[in-house]
Amino acid sequence: CGQCTFYCPTGAISEVSDFAPLRQAIASGKVIVAQTAPATRVAIGEMFGLEPGTVSTRKMVGALKEAGFHFVFDTNFGADLTIMEEGTELLARLKAGGPFPMITSCCPAWINLCEKLYPDFIPNLSTCKSPQAMLAAVVRTYWAEAIGKQPSDIFLVSVMPCTAKKDEIIRQDLGREGYRDVDMVLTTREVARWMQEQGIREWAAVSEADYDNPMGESSGAGMLFGATGGVMEAALRSAFEMGTGQRLEKLDFQSVRGFQGIKQATIDFDGRPIKVAVVHAAANVRKLLEAVRADPGHLGLHFIEVMACTGGCIGGGGQPKSNDPLVLEKRTRSVYEIDAQKTLRRSHENPSLLNLYSHFLGRPGSHKAHELLHTHYQDRSPGTRDAMAAGGGDDESIC
Ligand code: SF4
């Protein structure tokens, strides 16, 4: 596929359209639940002949319902939750003086790369799980209890733009007590094939539907996770307001938007300059990390967003293939339009999220939040694997 063999965000390695587990779960009477990532809604229409970037949010939810899903939640809610936790973590590091730069952790291809090739950056990684993983943990605990079900009564499918998410769901921290939080990942392309197999041919004929609550309500900031720079922008909106107690006059951080490989910006946090960087695509990630590694002052950076795919998740390996040279620009434009059209544009103002904290999690960064929403990382670099093998420890396959 042209990408490094240590991880594969491009879809060349592991997109396998095996729907057998989903069929079995339906046949066995489980509660069938889907969650859909931000970038899927601006791309799935292409699988049914629509223009790249067509916003298909309510159509996609309707099609999932027609195709056998009882409940459909929005991973954008998980993105808002990530911002609450990650923003709190950033503010804590700013108070404690590091370790800097803090680096985002929502891209599993990047996490694989870090653990295998850049383990010296593990202390810099945010301990936050990704949005799909956070939402799944809440579905299995808070929501299962609310609907009077055991966690194992639920079959949860993540609809993702990404093949690396298939690898992510088998990580040790993504499950407990004998079950995994996410049962299955279907890429945007795969879920469209599932819909087609269930008889959905005409996108225009699909009835629109809304996400189910409480994990259906989300902010425009959560939507931004679909594009390069979006996690940073969402985090800055919340960290600035939570940290300074001031209201942002302008929510759009243009300096972290766009397709430039490495973007840098300095944000004034009430007199304190916070230096951030945004990087996407493998070659740029390596270039920035080597530069940070080489500089004892880590380039003065406080926070870095890393996404392995070009353009971020809108360009993920599980998205529809396109011959349109402007496909990434069109999908990205729609991501920003969805945010701009929302009344709710700050993660920390999502009412359903605030309700989740007040009734279940406590506060951001609480013991319970750490137990369910945070993770840890492991040095899996080649030298460490050799040592583990020599000592009789478990070796792991590379992808
Ligand atoms: Fe997956 Fe998004 Fe990372 Fe690509 S950028 S590997 S789609 S999480």
The mean pLDDT of 380-392, rounded to a whole number, is 67
Q: What is the ipTM of this complex?
A: 0.99
The mean pLDDT of 349-363, rounded to a whole number, is 98
101 belongs to a structural domain: yes
The mean pLDDT of 13-40, rounded to a whole number, is 90
* CA 103 to ligand 1 centroid distance, Å: 15
Selection from 99, 75, 104, 69 nearest residue 87 by Cα: 104
What is the per-residue pLDDT for 154?
A: 97
Q: Which of these ranges, 147-161, 291-305, 311-325, 375-389, has the smallest mean pLDDT?
A: 375-389
* Domain tally, the chain: 1
The mean pLDDT of 291-297, rounded to a whole number, is 97
The string of pLDDT tens digits covering residues 227-275 is 999 999 999 999 999 999 999 999 999 999 999 999 999 999 999 999 9
Question: DSSP H helical segments within the chain, as ranges?
Answer: 20-27, 57-66, 75-96, 108-117, 131-138, 144-146, 164-168, 188-197, 220-223, 230-244, 282-294, 327-341, 351-356, 367-373, 382-390
The string of pLDDT tens digits covering residues 165-180 is 999 999 989 987 778 9
Residue to probe by mutation, ligand 1, list 309, 310, 319, most atoms within 8 Å of CB: 309
Give residue 6's pLDDT band: very low, low, confident or very high (50, 70, 90): very low
The string of pLDDT tens digits covering residues 342-352 is 999 999 999 99
366 belongs to a structural domain: yes
Specify the ligand 1 atom closest to the Cα of 109: 6
What average pLDDT is seen over the chain?
Answer: 93
Specify the ligand 1 atom closest to the Cα of 319: 7
φ/ψ of 272, rounded to 5, equals -105, 120
90 belongs to a structural domain: yes
Query: Whose Cα sits closest to atom 1 in ligand 1?
Result: 162
Instruction: Using alpha carbons, list the distances in angstroms from residue 169 to 59, 160, 166, 179.
Output: 26, 12, 6, 11
What is the per-residue pLDDT for 33?
A: 98
356 belongs to a structural domain: yes
141 belongs to a structural domain: yes
What is the per-residue pLDDT for 178?
A: 78
What is the per-residue pLDDT for 16?
A: 58
* CA 369 to ligand 1 centroid distance, Å: 24
Residue 98: how many CB atoms within 10 A of its CB? 12
7 belongs to a structural domain: no
What CATH code is carried by the domain that includes residue 175?
3.40.50.1780
Ligand 1 binding pocket, CB closer than 6 Å: 9, 107-109, 161-162, 164, 307-309, 312-313, 316
380 belongs to a structural domain: no
381 belongs to a structural domain: no
- The model's pTM: 0.93
Q: Which of these ranges, 93-102, 369-378, 390-399, has the smallest mean pLDDT?
A: 390-399
- Is the pLDDT score of 390 beyond 80? no
The mean pLDDT of 355-362, rounded to a whole number, is 98
* 256, amino acid identity: V
Domain that includes residue 176, residue range: 20-374
Query: Whose Cα sits closest to atom 2 in ligand 1?
Result: 313
Asked if residues 222 and 347 have their Cβ atoms less than 8 Å apart, the reply is: yes
- Is the pLDDT score of 332 beyond 50? yes
Pairing of β 179-180 and β 175-176: antiparallel
